[in-house]
Each structure stands twice: as C-alpha cells, then as structure tokens.
Amino acid sequence: MHFKTFSILPVALAIAAGALAPSTVSFATTKAPKHVTQKKAPAETAPAPVAGQTAVATGAPALAAKAWLLMDFDSGEVLASANPDEPLPPASLTKMMTSFLVEQALRSGKLKKDELVSVSQNAWCRGSSTESCMYLPLNSQATVIDILRGIIIQSGNDASKAIAEHMAGSEEGFAKLMNAEAQRLGMTHTHFMNATGLPDPDHKASARDLAILARAIIRDSSEYYPIYAERDFTYNKIKQGNRNALLYTDPTVDGLKTGHTNDAGFCLVTSSKRNGMRLITVILNTNSMQARADQTRTLLGWGFANFEKATPIQPTAVVATPKVSFGKADTVAAGLGAPWSVTVPRGQEVKTSVQINPNLEAPVAKGAVIGKVVAESNGKPVGEAPLVAQAEVERSGWLLRIWQHILKLFGK
C-alpha cells in the first residue's frame, strides 16, 4: 500500500495561533492515509484553574490542569507546582522513558544507530483516529535511529512497541526496564505498564516524576536531545510534524513531548532556555491542544519573569580551611570544584553555610570532596555544591604521627 506525503506544519502553526478548536484526534495531520478514519470529537470541559505553591511572594499562576509543575533544570528544584505528586495517566509522555532507554542503550553501545528493528504483528500500527503511528510496514525493518525519531517526533506507538520487543523480547519485559529506570531516577509516583502510554488503570506518572525524567534526558542524552526539537520527520513517504506547537512559535523551546488520551486529557512537557537559565514545565490533563500550549507559555513566561540565576560563591574563592589530622600540612583549602549557580526569586538575598566532613585525616587528594556548601534564600535551601580540596595533603611520617596523636589526646 502506498501513502501520500503530508505535513502537520500548517496545523501546528494554526494551533499555536489559536486558530484550531479543541479536538481529541491524536493523529495530527492535514491528510490521513486512506485507511485512517478521523472523527470529530465533542468539546471537553476544562478543569478548574489550580493555583500552585511557590516561594514567590505574589504567588503562582492558576492553571486549568489537574497537575502542573515548573522545575529549574540546573538544580532540579521545583519552583512552582500544583498536585505535583498525584499519579495520573501520562498518555504519550510515557514515550520519554521509551526514548530515554533507547538513547542510553545507544550511548553504552548496546544498540547501534544503523541496527535493524523488525516490526511484528503486535507492533504493527493499523491506523485509527485514536492512535498515533510512525506507519512502519508489517514485517519490515527500520534502523534504531529512525525508530527513535518515530517515537519522539511522530509519537509512534508502532515504533515504541517494536523497539520494546527488540530490546526486551516483549513489551511487558520492556516495561520492567522502564520501571527499574524510573526507580533509579527517583520517580517515586510512577508505574509503567507499556511503552506507549495507551490506557491501563495501573499506568500512571506524576508531574514531578515526568520533570525528573525530562531533566535526565536533557542531561544524559545530549547527543540525541536535539531530536526533541525537530519539527517533522518523514518515513515511509509520510511526513508528520511534531505536535509541540511551541516549537513553531518560541525559539527558546527545544523539547520535549506531547501526549493525549481521553483519560489523560492533553499533556505537554516542555523545556526552554533563556539567558543561560533552563526551565522545565509539565502540564497534565487539560482540555485541548491549544490549552496545553497556552498554559505552558503562561508558566514559562511567569517563571522567567519571577526567577533569576544567582552565584553564591565565586569558583576561585577559598570557602574554608579545615584542619587535617596526621598530615604533613595541618589544614587544606576548600573550594568549589566547578562554577555554581542557583535559581531564586528575583531580588532575594542568598546566604551560604559550610559543612565540612568530620574527622578529616590525611592523605587527602587534590579534588577530593571534603564537605559541601548549602545556599539558602528566604530561610529555605535552594541548592548545594560539593567542596573539594584545593591541594594535596600527604600523610605524615610515623614519628610525626605519634607526636600528633599525643597532641590530639591533650586537645591541642
């Protein structure tokens, strides 16, 4: 069967401009393959606006979503949120974990970009108005890198199932890998049952957990993260556009993923970087593509307007000179191992406190972590950084150590 080429770009631009009415059709294209029937869905009622918790004195915006969250990428600090730990259906946001596992397997060498993945009867996507597909032909093969693009850009259920079977033998086996990785990342309110996000009563994720996952993708998959900003991908002569409308209207947005099912509503996880500060947003269960885009714009705009980067300590500063027992030197300079910044509400003062590891003894290697510095703003911790030894301290000879032991016994 041959398919005609089509593009989502006009649709995405219309979504971004507010020209499209809400729709539950998840296969977002201007012209569907002949075997796909698209149905007009009834309008959905928007959730009541939910105000969030934040350290900003004027408060956070109220957004019409069941849960939402704003996170600082650098520190992982949650800057504002509403119902951040409520497990909700994540729909195709699930595929962020699917793509992350593929990316990590590529990084480790377990997968190769040009490795071929077979499309089984189970993975094959027949096409419907409620399922997004890459349109991999039945019993065909596709490269891992094409599969990855099909998951991220086209949100292909077929691509997700095919790679799950390729990596773990079955989608059920792959779900176990997903849950193990979620546990490793600290996603404590998430449980995956499949690689796609198709409805299952036990398939849930929280806004906080999805932000943690997005942060891991940006941090650990830098080679593949640019794919999340690609606006379209053509496979099997079918061109489909990225459903993240903000990629077409905001040059600071470079990812990550959209999702929609009837149970999950319209969802969006986004990352934006402006003036050296990157923020991650999560919107869960709102009532339209337009709403998830608008609410994300609102949250990003509010975040960048109300928070700023602060440098509590300069990278070259000596923060402390703790005592070292049984060394050729009595003390060692402690400082930062790398430049450090924190994100705080605009205009708030940042204070720091130093914690040195107790009973510091030689030998101490240059660069060894010997403590930490904690930053506080308005009485609340906003970040911490390790303190490292700025010089090596060799262990003293046995005669000197005996004398140092005697002095220590007498408290000197």
Collect all residues with Cβ–Cβ distance below 8 Å to 76 and sequence separation of at least 6.
212, 215
For the residues 340-347, what does the mean pLDDT come to? 90
At which residue do the structure tokens 């003894």 appear? 361
Residues 294 and 334 both lie in one domain? no
Is 155 an active-site residue? yes
Closest by Cα among 275, 390, 283, 401 to 343: 275
Give me the pLDDT at residue 44, please. Answer: 55
The least confident of 81-90, 213-222, 282-291, 356-365 is 356-365
Question: Quick one: 285 and 360 in the same domain?
Answer: no
Instruction: Indicate whether 107 pLDDT > 50.
Output: yes
Residue 3 included in any domain: no
Q: Of 273, 308, 343, which residue is a domain's last?
A: 308
Among candidate residues 95, 161, 204, 239, the one labeled active-site is 95
- List the catalytic residue out of 75, 155, 160, 221: 155
Annotated catalytic residue 170: no
Of the given ranges (68-82, 126-140, 197-211), which has the lowest mean pLDDT?
126-140
Which one of the listed residues 23, 26, 75, 92 is annotated catalytic?
A: 92
pLDDT at 155 > cutoff 50? yes
325 catalytic residue (yes or no): no
Residue 86 lies in a domain: yes
Express the helix, strand and coil content of the chain in percent, nearest 5 each: 30, 30, 45
Contact 9, 248 (CB under 8 A): yes
Residue 326 sits in the same domain as residue 299: no
> Residue 33: what pLDDT?
39
Among 308, 327, 344, give the residue marking a domain's end. 308
Average pLDDT over residues 98-104: 98
Tens of pLDDT, residue by residue over 229-265, are 999 999 999 999 999 999 999 999 999 999 999 999 9
CATH number, residue 367: 2.60.410.10
Question: What pLDDT shows up at residue 34?
Answer: 36
Residues 238 and 121 in one domain: yes
pLDDT of residue 56: 77
pLDDT per residue as tens digits for the range 169-187: 999 999 999 999 999 999 9
**Which of these, 155, 184, 345, lies nearest to 257 by C-alpha position?**
155
Among 192, 200, 158, CA closest to 176? 192
* In the chain, % of residues over pLDDT 90: 70
Residues of the domain holding 291: 9-308
Residue 329 has pLDDT above 60, yes or no: yes
Count of domains forming the chain:
2
